[in-house]
Amino acid sequence: MATSAETMAANMNLSVFSKATELKSRIIFTVLALIVYRLGTYVPIPGIDPVTLGELFKQHGGGILGMFDMFSGGALKRMTIFALSVMPYITASIIVQLLSAIIPSFEALKKEGESGRVRLNQYSRYLTVLFAIVQSYALAVGLQNMMGGSAVVINPSFFRISTMVTLTGGTVFLMWLGEQITARGIGNGTSLIIYSGIVANLPHAMAQTLELGRTGALSAWFILLIIVLIFGVLAVCVFCERAQRRILIQYPKRQVGNKMYGGEASHLPLKINTSGVIPPIFASSLLLFPITALSFTSMSQKGGWLTDLVTELGHGKPLFMVLYAAMIIFFAFFYTAVVFNPVETADNLKKYGGFVPGIRPGKNTADYFDAVLTRLTVLGAAYLVAICLLPEFLMSKGAVPFYLGGTSLLIVVSVTIDTISRIQSHLIAHQYEGLIKKSKLRKK
């Protein structure tokens, strides 16, 4: 059954949108910020031969580097100023959130509200700079080790320092740009940056797949299977991202003077996938951080355990599958625990007189919420693992681009649904403001 907000959102038209000036300015700001990001993915770092680098990336980009290039929107393959994208920031955010659940001082900051959140964000920024420096140094060393560095690096003098400064500066700028989109635009800025990079490369990925079919590298039936799988993954993602368990909440009646108030019922919505797209992104970033340096180091070696390790961490390999699935499951439960606290929710309901029919308020209600949320998270984690790993089997059988994989499609669907929901929220708020103004005018 649709809620009143959903009914109002369904009845909106273009005339309502045209009157929402603040929403239009937010959308324009978001689009302009993403255009700036896309332009930056074509500005190369100094001292690189792009032609030679492109040829080498075709040889070594089929494993973990291909996934890194997907999250960077193709910037890594072109080795531009945004080659690291926002992955160091995501890694830093993971660590800070883990610390806030382990270290008491960080947990206390988390409970302080806005001031504590500002300090935790500041710690994330410091860690982002540190991780960006480490990853940019690993990239610089790896580029110099490719074929001795003579073919890829044009000017070896001060190449490592200039690369570290350029890539770190690019990551810090994207971190700032994402925060500006979140504050002054529509949606989560970091997610939209990753989303725009994936969407911008989807047409090229489809054309590349069709070209493989034309040359005979992939059969027509295999390409048809890929197309069917893409639409199937999109349909499952939309269904699961919208699906939720609504727990009935009843409020008692109370008498104020001669009037009775309360007594109405509402619902507490619990999504199947409470963590959203965070677990695949977190799992990918933690896999990418240590393996990037190993990938570039192994390129300069013939054989050796580094080469074997990077090969086993390629798409479709058992080790990659196991690590990726385990990290997705862990972060699905961890992030769900971060965003939803059953004890706090039960206490708030008890404070305002709400209760779940058949469940005693307080600890019993918290235990009930925890049991329901655990079952939902099991389903959500299984859904995420299936969506992210099933297309990997197809990638292992054919040279299918990473942009057509389950992780990228999940990001596209999740960010699209989240952005549309925020646009609807702004439109609903605008309509309510209009109704309030009309009621005030009528009273006058």
Task: Note the pLDDT tens digit of each residue in 359-403.
Answer: 888 888 889 989 999 999 999 999 998 888 876 666 666 556 555
Check whether 190 has a pLDDT greater than 80.
yes
Distances in Å between the Cα of 274 and the Cα atoms of 68, 245, 278, 283 are: 25, 11, 10, 16
More confident residue, 306 or 277: 277
What's the rounded mean pLDDT across residues 107-134? 86
pLDDT at 296 over 70: no
Q: Which residues contact 19 (CB under 8 A, 6 or more apart)?
A: 430, 434
Question: Based on C-alpha coordinates, what's the Rg of the chain?
Answer: 25
Q: Which whole number is the average pLDDT over 165-194?
A: 91
- Residue 171 pLDDT: 93
Convert the pLDDT of each residue in 247-295 to its tens digit: 888 877 665 666 665 567 788 888 888 888 788 877 876 776 666 556 5
Backbone φ and ψ for 268, nearest 5 degrees, come out as: -100, 105
253 against 425, higher pLDDT: 425
C-alpha distance from residue 2 to each of 6, 418, 420, 424, 441 (Å): 6, 18, 17, 15, 31
Half-sphere exposure of 36 (CA within 13 A, CB side): 14
Helix, strand, coil percentages (3-state) for the chain, rounded to 5, are: 75, 5, 20
* DSSP 8-class letter at 260: E
Kindly state the average pLDDT of the residues 46-70. Answer: 68
Indicate the DSSP class of residue 268.
Answer: E
Among 49-58, 79-88, 243-252, the minimum mean pLDDT is found in 49-58
Q: Which of 33-37, 76-80, 288-292, 398-402 has the lowest mean pLDDT?
A: 398-402
C-beta neighbour count of 51 within 10 angstroms:
10
pLDDT reported for residue 227: 80
Q: What is the pLDDT of residue 356?
A: 85
Mean pLDDT confidence for 335-341: 83
pLDDT band at residue 5 using 50, 70 and 90 as cut-offs: very low
For residue 135, what are the contacts with CB-CB under 8 A and spacing of at least 6? 84, 87, 88, 167, 289, 292, 293
pLDDT at 256: 60
Q: Which two tokens stand for residue 277?
A: 């797209």
Mean pLDDT of the 90-102 span: 82
Looking at every residue in the chain, the average pLDDT score rounds to: 78
CATH class of 21-443: mainly alpha
Q: Tell me what pLDDT residue 390 has.
A: 74
* Enclosing H/E stretch for 7: helix 4-10
- Which of 203-217, 223-237, 317-331, 336-350 is predicted with the least confidence, judged by mean pLDDT? 203-217
